[in-house]
Amino acid sequence: MDLELISFKLCPFVQSSVITLLHKQVGYSITYIDISDPPAWFDEISPTGQVPLVRINSDSILFESAVINEFLDEVSGGGMMPSEPLIKAQNRAWTQFCGSILADARDLAGAKDENSLQDKEYDIHEKLGRIEALKTDEDFFNGDEMNLIDTLYAALFMRLDLLRPAVNLLNMEQYPGLSRWSENLLRLDAVQRSVVTDFNDIYRRMIKAQGGILAARLP
């Protein structure tokens, strides 16, 4: 099967698909676009105007990262989703929840005044607290193996880590379970190789370009 991942270098949802592909050792090619100025061919094939998008055998299109990731897992032998229906459904729900934290983190990074910044910090802490409450001592979300849900949290944790000099959201005292989970994920080869080599710089520059409060605080 020929897989082409349409990507934007800073997108956490794309990153979750790349982690899945690397972890499952599935061959793929990657095409980067600028999502703020997408090419005409992308608008033609993308139902939502969003990345990630996967083009399969040059003709079929899949969109929505969670759907893409389940497909990638299934066609490569499975194993990254719990088999029990309730746990599987809960994994899907908490994966979507991660998407809402990523949206908060994006808004936080662009916040132009202290009130908006504090509101977003509050929202993020509220959500991190909920996941901390259900995190077990296991290395990853479901146990000792990385599952699909972990791939999006890995992208979130990478961003929270990069924001740390400006705002320390994920700290060991407040979130011991999440902090250990983050460390376990960020040291994985598939996670480290899931972004372009100059990702940290590009991410920092994107925040600086927004000119918000965090831009001033980031070194």
Ligand X SMILES: N[C@@H](CCC(=O)N[C@@H](CS)C(=O)NCC(=O)O)C(=O)O
Is the separation of the CB atoms in 147 and 81 below 8 Å? yes
Smallest separation (angstroms) from ligand X to the CB of 172: 28
Does 128 engage in binding with ligand X (CB under 6 A)? no
**Structure tokens belonging to residue 43:** 């608008």
CB of 88 to ligand X, least distance (A): 17
For 50-70, the DSSP string reads: -S-EEEETTTEEEESHHHHHH
Q: From the CB of 171, what's the least distance to ligand X, in Å?
A: 26
| Residue placing its CB nearer to ligand X in the complex, 13 or 175 | 13
Residue 47 and residue 54: Cα distance in Å, rounded? 12
Contact status, residue 13 vs residue 99, Cβ threshold 8 Å: yes
| x-or-dash string of contact with ligand X, 72-101, rule CB under 6 A | ---------------------------x--
Report how far residue 205's alpha carbon sits from residue 209's, in angstroms, rounded to the nearest whole number.
Answer: 6
Which of the stretches 6-14, 108-116, 125-133, 207-215 binds ligand X when contact is defined by CB under 6 A?
Answer: 6-14
* Smallest distance, ligand X to C-beta of residue 102, A: 8
In the complex with ligand X, the residue whose CB is nearer, 101 or 175, is: 101
Choose among 42, 10, 4: nearest CA to 203: 10
User: How many residues sit close enough to ligand X to count as binding (CB under 6 A)?
Assistant: 12
Residue 11 binds ligand X, judged by CB under 6 A = yes
Q: How far is CA 209 from its chain centroid?
A: 21
Q: Which of 65, 142, 182, 194 binds ligand X (CB under 6 A)?
A: 65
Task: Please identify, using beta-carbon distances, which residue of 158 and 175 lies nearer to ligand X.
Answer: 158
CB-neighbour burial class of residue 199 (10 A; exposed 0-12, middle 13-18, buried 19+) = middle
Measured from the CB atom, is 11 or 213 closer to ligand X? 11
Please say whether the beta carbons of 51 and 14 come within 8 A.
yes
Q: Is the distance from CB of 14 to CB of 38 less than 8 angstroms? A: no
Site for ligand X in 30-59 (CB under 6 A): 35, 49-52
Please state the φ and ψ torsions of residue 61, each to the nearest 5 degrees: -120, 135
CB nearer to ligand X: pick between 99 and 177: 99
Task: Out of 4, 55, 64, 139, point to the residue binding ligand X (CB under 6 A).
Answer: 64
Q: Is the dihedral of CA 132, 134, 139, 142 positive or negative?
A: negative
Least Å distance between CB 155 and ligand X? 9
Residues that bind ligand X (CB under 6 A): 8, 11, 13, 35, 49-52, 64-66, 99
